Structure 1
Amino acid sequence: MLNKNALVVTKQVQLHTHNFHRLILGFSTLRRSDKKKWHLNVCVNGVLKRDTDENAMVHSASSNELSFEESPEEYCREILNDPISDVSVEETSRFLIPYPKKDVTYLIDVITRPFRENYVYEPASMMLHLCVERLENEELCSRFHIGPGFNRRLYFLTLHVWILHRRAMKEMPLGLLLDKYLFQFTFQLFKEWLAQRKVPEHRFKKELENCQAFMMKFLVELDQCTLDEDMYPHRISKTMKYHMYEDDVDDETLRLLVKYIIRQFVHISNLDSKHYLDAMFLWADNEAICKPQRLLKRAMPQLVKYGGYKASLAENAARIEKGSEKISS
């Protein structure tokens, strides 16, 4: 489980947790210089500002230094110059799910859409399915050393939620409602994971609060990383190494993870508003990381691994056989 000093962190981050869905993120569009440059202007409800002290940024450079042979500038340049980190709009279009034919006309659909209660609720649910699908992709988890442990899986899931959350803040006002539902589903999933781990009832509420607090702190630090438009790859590396890997990761894996994060962030930013708000897209996987999905269909996870749990084939076969015996009798 998470550290025992989580109570202190909970108190520090409680304000962020309470007001998270009211955050005002000045999400400027991606601009590209030398083929790609990521500029995000972030203001988190008056807490994170442009003039944030350098020493307060993601465990300061003096602590938790990465073991890079090159300078941070060279590290960032190498990350950004790798084609894996970049996704063109044309490439993004290959990961769009085609819309099925509707029984009603386009005009009727537009008129009636505001009166449908689930027109944002359902896409938010599908987005969480997309995030859970990342944990079920064994090739991807193997590449980034995401084992069956609880903490890493929680951070890896939250990382993808953060990417979707940042785009939601660009789609006002619907994005704010979608973002609210997305985090509502995410916290509900946290509860189910803790239940699968058989957390004692007297500790359950506190453990859930700790999980939420640690993840919110993680999200805030990711936002802080993006304040520096020139050094954000280096800052993201330090954040991921400290939080998700707890300083136990090799440089090659960490580099690839940073490239993957930037790639998926650019991909989600390239989506048009309609496909994003309807959750009609897939992650932009690359052969260098994991094989892209062959069929353009919505993510419907069949093997939800709560807290790393996955039933074995023998166990499934025994259940099927037992069920068949009941039916025959």
Structure 2
Amino acid sequence: MGCLHSTGWWSHKEPREPHQEPKSYSWDKKDRVNPADFTVENVSNEEVGRLPGTIGGQQFIIQNCQASQIYLFDCINTITIDDCSDCIIFVGPTTGSLFLRDCQDCVVMAACGQFRTRDCCKMEIFLLCQTQPIIEASTKMKFGCFQAFYPQLKDQFTVAGISIFNNNWANVHDFTPVDGETNWSCISQANALSSSFKLPEGEELKSIDLNLSSDCSVVPYTYGSPVYATQEATLIFFFFDEAQHQRAMEFIASLRAQAVECKIQHSREVMMETADAQRVFHTSEYKNAINQGPVIALLCLGDDIAGVCSKIAQQMNAASSKQAVYVTSDSNTSNQQIDAFFSYASMTMSM
């Protein structure tokens, strides 16, 4: 008989392996997105919206809404707005595209990288767009300049990577023009927005303190018309440093205070190459300045506009102990510099 204590293959135990946690991957750790959080649909005669911090750069959808007010006070990746009528819609800084389809009788204020409409009618669009807006199969479209303020908006533009100085709102391309008809027009009255756009009334959205005044707007109000040859024009450059944006906005505020009738026709923020700067400034004196970072440029129109702008620039340069602001000198030089700069800027922004 075999011994009770004998060992054999059946009694051998494999050593236990140490306990191992399940492997985790980065894609498992992402918060699950609920599409309903980033969709507004099928609302009628309501006020709805999203507060700052609730969208966080996600894609968003608005669809099938009627006679409603919709406010999105946050950064967005891309947004589509479909089949809406008689609505007021605010769209916060959108890194990518905003696409409006099959909408009518709406007022939309939006800031975005790209803008396009298809099959829309009787729309008022108050816009900041980094590229050329496009309309397709759309009629009775009106475009104006984006103008809004609330405390978080400036930082939202930074997060979205949108320059407040690159606004092509008035440079609309009609993809499907009709001979003898004009499918779009410009709204060039700064006070037109207040009669078209409705502020929030509900306590939660009202607490955002949305302000529609052009004087308070995070985005400089521009008139956008390409016609300036019959008026006195000057071009102002703000060279790059840590105070560049603040300096440009302070300049605009001073200009409005000292020359009430002046118009800021266009604004741009672009990097300049040395050769192109030579063509614009007619000298290599500003080579080091343009190599530091992008320049901000304002095209301003008005009586004695060069004199007023030069005075403001001198004060700013004295305060900063350097030439942080440049103003074109005489009318002949100004026109040449304006043409050279905007030819370069248009080419750069279309790339």
TM-score (norm 2): 0.24
**Bigger Rg over Cα:** 2
Which structure would you say has the larger RCO, counting Cα contacts within 8 Å and 6 or more residues apart? 1
Structure with more helix by fraction:
1
Structure with more strand by fraction:
2
TM-score (norm 1): 0.25
